[in-house]
């Protein structure tokens, strides 16, 4: 049985994510850590041991500069990274 090239990769999920999507990641050998509904400190702690962060839309009060400062990691944002603002209702 061949080992996935993603085996050993760890990602953090910060927002609700479909179980189907999580299954696809796990089937590819990716270790998925969910911090959905947990305090922000849980996100930062999980990121200290992660290879990536999956965010569908936005995580309130979290931006690239805050992640960089809190994690002290050499972060590489996606090429289409842009700030999003919650809609005013």
8 A C-beta contact, residue 14 and residue 36? yes
pLDDT in tens, 34-66: 999 898 888 888 888 888 888 776 666 677 777
Model pTM score:
0.68
Under the banding of pLDDT at 50, 70 and 90, the label for residue 31 is very high
């Amino acid at each position: 049985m061949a080992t996935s090239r993603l085996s050993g990769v760890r990602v953090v999920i910060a927002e609700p994510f479909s179980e189907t999507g999580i299954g696809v990641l796990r089937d590819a050998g990716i270790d998925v850590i969910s911090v959905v509904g947990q305090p922000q400190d849980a996100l930062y702690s999980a990121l200290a041991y992660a290879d990536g962060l999956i965010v569908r839309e936005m995580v309130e009060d979290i931006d690239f500069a805050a992640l960089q400062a809190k994690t002290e990691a050499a972060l590489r944002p996606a090429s289409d990274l842009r700030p999003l603002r919650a809609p005013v209702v």
